Structure 1
Amino acid sequence: MKTSERPEFATQRRNELFDSLIEMFLMDGFSHLTLDDVAARLKCSKSTLYTLAGSKDGLVKEVTKHFFRKATEDVEAELAKATGSLERITAYLNAVGRALSEASEQFMTDMSNFAPARGVYEMNTQFAAARVQDLIREGVAKGDLRKVNAAFAADMTSATMVRIQLGEVRARTGLADAKAYQELAAILTAGISA
């Protein structure tokens, strides 16, 4: 069997392509790129790109999913290192901010303007808000945090996260998404500390 026919080689090559696509899209955005542009920059054929998705729109959505999957793994790894309820919430939100800090303003704009990618971002924002709610509930149950309504605190956090995701915070305050998440973590943890 040739090397290129082994399933593990194909999976490794797919992951390498997705990683390269993520890097390209995060740096430059994607709305202005054609599949020909992408293939030329990656030094691969368009048929190779079609093995990842059937169209440019599909490719953008798959790359966005790959980015958020990897970001979620990184965020959860950071969370696992933290101890104490306030530290865990801060670590979580700061890690989300760091994951997004790799994205250029053009990528964030393109993602906001492209419904399939925006949908992936929205789904991940909802997941992150639910994760924050769980962390708050855990902290309240342990007595590490003052007795706040975890659902309300998470809803308030979620609303801010959605505004960050939509670019509203950036437009009104000038804060990049990563910095906005850091500020959110600071304000939230100050408000719920015991």
Structure 2
Amino acid sequence: MSTQAATAAARRSKITPERERELYEAVLDLLREGGYDAVTMEGVAARTKCGKATLYRQWGTKPRLVTAALNKSRTTFFTGIDTGSLAGDLRAAARAAAARGDRDTALVEAVTQAYLQHPDLREALRETVLQPEVAALDAMVRRGVERGEVAADNPAIGFVAPCFLGVLRVERLFEDRLADPAALPAFVEAVLLPALGTPGVQTFDG
């Protein structure tokens, strides 16, 4: 371990897991209440009776603190899905996303807005929160190509993850169409699988 890494680890060890959870929850509460602009090191320190210097020493910047809080609280939807077929994987991914009953709408909306407006936060979120989900979806398609289920030159391959995650991001705008838990599985059947030319497309029946 490098000297820099050892120093960082020593600094992190000064905050207990319980205290860390308390700090992260304060960050998430501030996000829900007023959006990204409402989150300040001063505000988090005041709410948790923590020294502002401690926050700066531990996380360095506001984007890093916010990203750490979001990363700690996030639920992974797609990582670990591997049914043995691309159609099965995408169907399982749709069911997993549709079944998330604890979706924190206020937090999602706050983060989405901040993602668009703050490049520094966007980069951090892309690396720690968004990329694992993109990688999981890309891996499903890659396995499908390797098994011969999808032609390697199919132009739809690069659009699977953006389309899937894009639908999740616009749910609130299309509540009349996407509120039903069957909507995401139906999207997979009607749009993604036909575009990929994947055999075995079936009508979603719950």
> TM-score if structure 2 supplies the norm length?
0.59
| Equivalence map 1:109-124=2 (5 Å) | 109-123=113-127
| Equivalence map 1:1-194=2 (5 Å) | 10=15, 12-13=17-18, 15-17=20-22, 19-21=24-26, 23-24=28-29, 26-28=31-33, 29-54=35-60, 58-65=61-68, 67-68=70-71, 71=74, 75-77=78-80, 79=81, 84-92=85-93, 95=96, 98=100, 101-102=103-104, 103-123=107-127, 125=130, 128-142=133-147, 145=149, 147-149=150-152, 152-160=155-163, 169=170, 174-175=173-174, 182=184, 185-186=188-189, 187-189=191-193, 191-192=195-196, 193-194=198-199
Three-state SS of the structure 2 residue aligned to 1:38 is helix
C-alpha separation in 2, matches of 1:83 and 1:22? 40
C-alpha separation in 2, matches of 1:48 and 1:6? 9
The one-letter code matched in structure 2 to 1:23 is L
C-alpha separation in 1, matches of 2:97 and 2:125? 12
Is the 2:31–2:39 Cα contact (8 Å) retained in structure 1?
no
More helix as a share of residues = 1
Alpha-carbon deviations, 1:56-105, whole Å to 9, x = none? xx23234315534764756425x26x564323234346656859943331
The one-letter code matched in structure 2 to 1:157 is V
C-alpha separation in 1, matches of 2:73 and 2:112? 17
Q: Which has the larger radius of gyration?
A: 2
Count of residues in correspondence between the two structures = 177
**Aligned-residue CA RMSD in angstroms?**
4.2
Three-state SS of the structure 2 residue aligned to 1:76 is coil
Structure 2 portions without partners, runs of 5+: 1-9, 200-206
Q: Give, in angstroms, the shift of residue 159 of structure 1.
A: 4.2
Three-state SS of the structure 1 residue aligned to 2:90 is helix
